[in-house]
Amino acid sequence: MLRAGHMVALCVVALLTVGVVMVNSAGMTVNPVRAAVDGAVMVVDTPRGVTFESILFSRSSVYMALALGALAIASVLPIRRLSASVQQRAGSLGVDLVVVGLVVAAILVALGTVYLPGLGREVNGSSRWINLPVVGDGLSVQPSEVAKWGLLGLTAWWAARRGSGMSSFWFGLIPALVAVGAVAAVVTAEDLGTGVLIAASACIVLLAGGARLWQFMLFVPMGLAAVGLAILASPYRVARLTAFLDPYADPQGTGYHMIQSMGAVAGGGFFGRGLGHGLQKFGYLPEDRTDFLFAIICEELGTPGAALVVFLFAGLLLAGLAIVRREPDRLLRLMGVGVITTVGLQAVINLAVVTGLGPTKGIALPLVSSGGTGWILTAFSLGLLVAIDRRGSAEPAAVIAPPNARAAAA
């Protein structure tokens, strides 16, 4: 019988496969070849083809293998025992606050490594990556990915620990929002899109954990003002916003990226130009292997290829939602909410940007756009959903009473 966890795993494998194939297709280069044209020898640029062997031994295939390994490891974890152990460890609000502070401090230290000389690497004017000298120059890690998943785990744990106490403004919501705000603010300094994504996903987890909506509404103006100031303080963010409103006002400048992306989406027609036969990847569309890979998918595979990617994400999210809805363990349920919310929001934002429905952002398409850290951590997080579903039929649910309920019983 096909369970929801099986569907999650199948969708992850399928999306990674699409990602590996299309990343290699988008990475095709041209070679100058001497050719005789009308009796004259000319240098003609010819595309360098992609073979099965070149895909199999590519860097993206290595990352896919690591991601599948992470998926497999997460799916066999004794998830309910771990959940029970984590929820029973700390017993008081003070201890919980110390745990939150330590985890947030660790996340901020990880984010700060991008500014260390010799370790951080600047890409497109932003310091988002660190090189791992132990492995070599070819492997980089994006600390914001670690921060994203680490903060989601922390907010799920906090909401599970507080229980009905999440409805308390000062002792339930405020400590969590301070943690979310601190991490999101640091991430936003280099990557506004990821910072907003992290904050939105964490807030949804807190709402699912019992926080009151009206309390959140008190902070909406503050959040919008912070985003507005972050945009106005950065000229390139203002340029991206104006380019989104009217990309053809500066087609060779700020609007170039969006115009080329929309051209790739529409250029393939219904059936596409064929795998490997796209044109935009040959120096016309920036970031064609990463944030704008979906545009290459549309150009080469047409509507069927684009629909396949959308359906795979829809199947992944629906299967994850089915797992979360029937999960009795509070911590596991909130973790599941965080995973499907983050993957879903990130996919929607990327698809909107690529198709011209949103301003350009540095947000990749999960499990598809080229990326090592993102693939591995996302696959591991989705593997936890598989573990929850697998253990759901093999183990009794470990329902842990929140601290306030245990205190009342005592």
Residue with tokens 């569907």: 7
Going by pLDDT thresholds of 50, 70 and 90, the confidence category of residue 127 is low
pLDDT at 110 over 50: yes
Mean pLDDT of 250-258: 89
CB 358 within 8 A of CB 352: yes
Residue with tokens 């991206």: 240
Query: What does the pLDDT read at residue 49?
Result: 61
Mean pLDDT of 212-234: 89
Query: What does the pLDDT read at residue 382?
Result: 97
* 37 strand-pairing partners: 40
